[in-house]
């Protein structure tokens, strides 16, 4: 059995929706998968992002996700990665989703709610994984140990731009900068703006500037990526909705970027909102 898994990048938080809001982006990692009868052992090749850095054994993230679905047979993977690693664009979630969907496909199963559960358990939250699985805009939450998400279509006027620095970051490192508690006023602010963000992303992008205003995580993480916060503040002062993508250091903005904003050191890319989520295509 041979097939191709194509999985989109994602952005999470979107300012106010910390660990709850996500959106799929038109940047993709492709994994060619061979398994089942006639395939023995494990082989992995990696091209693009992560080549030469990621392990090529059972500890590879895609392989771990495949095994988490219960598939134990032979496996051959060719990974072609375009999603930058450790930049806040969901590269780990994309690898996990690719592995989970590959494992389901190798066992003749369609991805279902169990796929989200398995994928989210790797990271402890479902926002990025749900976006890569389902496409569009997602709201993710947990009920005890159960992860859930709902998908919505983004308004056609939502026009994401990502500004990707060369600097890497990690969720583990930046999450360690967050306080254990926040003021009640900040929590109330986040609740209102997160609700507004759902409306803005799906119905009325004209209110995205207010909807993406954050008090829960970005300022606390500024020591990890001061240039990111500078660009965000400069854009917002000029009326451009902007925030940190995921755990950073990438900036996500919406609309045209004013020429006077200094984006030196950032790779600026306009991306579509991915609407389909992960895709599987037979190769035989």
Question: Is 60 known as a binding-site position?
Answer: no
Same domain, 135 and 200: no
Same domain, 112 and 249: no
Which domain covers residue 36, as residue numbers?
2-152+275-282
- CATH number, domain with residue 103: 3.30.230.10
pLDDT class of 94 with cuts at 50, 70, 90: very high
Is the overall model pTM greater than 0.85, yes or no? Answer: yes
Question: Is 88 known as a binding-site position?
Answer: yes
Question: Is 270 known as a binding-site position?
Answer: no
Count of the separate structural domains present in the chain? 2
Mean per-residue pLDDT, 214-218: 85
Question: Is 89 known as a binding-site position?
Answer: yes
pLDDT at 171 over 60: no
Question: What one-character-per-residue DSSP string does the chain give?
Answer: -EEEEEEEEEEEETTTEEEEEEEEEEEEEEEEEEESTT--SEEEEEEETTTTTS-SSTTSHHHHHHHHTT--S-EEEEEEE-SPTTSSS-HHHHHHHHHHHHHHHHTT----HHHHHHHHHHHT--HHHHHHHH-SEEEEEEETTEEEEEEEPPPTT--EEEEEES----HHHHHTTS-S---HHHHHHHHHHHHHHHHHHHT-GGGHHHHT--SSSHHHHGGG-HHHHHHHHHHHHTT--EEE-TTSS-EEEESPPPTTS--TTEEEEE-PBPSS-SEEEE--
Same domain, 22 and 146: yes
What percent of the chain has a predicted confidence (pLDDT) above 70?
98
Same domain, 217 and 110: no
Same domain, 248 and 264: yes
Same domain, 172 and 249: yes
**Per-residue pLDDT reduced to its tens digit, 115-170:** 999 999 998 899 999 999 999 999 999 999 999 999 999 999 999 999 999 887 65
Question: Is 87 known as a binding-site position?
Answer: yes
Question: Is 257 known as a binding-site position?
Answer: no
Same domain, 44 and 120: yes
Question: Is 92 known as a binding-site position?
Answer: yes
Question: Is 154 known as a binding-site position?
Answer: no
**Per-residue pLDDT reduced to its tens digit, 233-284:** 999 999 999 999 998 999 999 999 999 999 999 999 999 999 999 999 999 7
Same domain, 145 and 13: yes
Question: Is 85 known as a binding-site position?
Answer: yes
Same domain, 204 and 142: no
- CATH number, domain with residue 236: 3.30.70.890
Same domain, 31 and 108: yes
């Amino acid at each position: 059995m041979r097939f191709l898994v194509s999985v989109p990048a994602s952005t999470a938080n979107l300012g106010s929706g910390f660990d709850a809001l996500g959106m799929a982006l038109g940047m993709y990692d492709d994994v060619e998968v061979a398994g089942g009868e006639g395939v023995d052992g494990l082989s992995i090749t990696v091209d693009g992002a992560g080549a030469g850095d990621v392990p090529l054994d059972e500890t590879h993230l895609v392989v771990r996700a495949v095994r988490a679905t219960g598939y134990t047979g032979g496996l051959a993977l060719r990974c072609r990665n375009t999603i930058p690693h450790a930049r806040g664009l969901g590269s780990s979630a994309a690898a996990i989703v690719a592995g989970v969907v590959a494992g389901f496909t190798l066992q003749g199963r369609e991805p279902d709610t169990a796929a989200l559960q398995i994928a989210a358990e790797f990271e402890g939250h479902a926002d990025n994984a749900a976006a890569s699985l389902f496409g569009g805009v997602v709201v993710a939450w947990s009920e005890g140990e159960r992860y859930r998400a709902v998908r919505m279509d983004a308004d056609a006027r939502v026009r994401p731009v990502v500004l990707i620095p060369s600097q890497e970051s990690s969720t583990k490192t930046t999450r360690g900068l967050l306080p254990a508690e926040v003021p009640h006023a900040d929590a109330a602010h986040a609740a209102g703006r997160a609700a507004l963000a759902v409306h803005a992303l799906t119905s009325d992008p004209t209110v995205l500037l207010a909807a993406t205003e954050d008090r829960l995580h970005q300022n606390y993480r500024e020591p990890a990526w001061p240039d990111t916060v500078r660009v965000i503040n400069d854009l917002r002062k000029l009326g451009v909705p902007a925030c940190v993508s995921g755990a950073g250091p990438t900036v996500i903005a919406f609309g045209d970027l004013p020429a006077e904003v200094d984006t030196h050191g950032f790779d600026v890319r306009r991306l579509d909102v991915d609407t389909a989520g992960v895709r599987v295509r037979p190769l035989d």
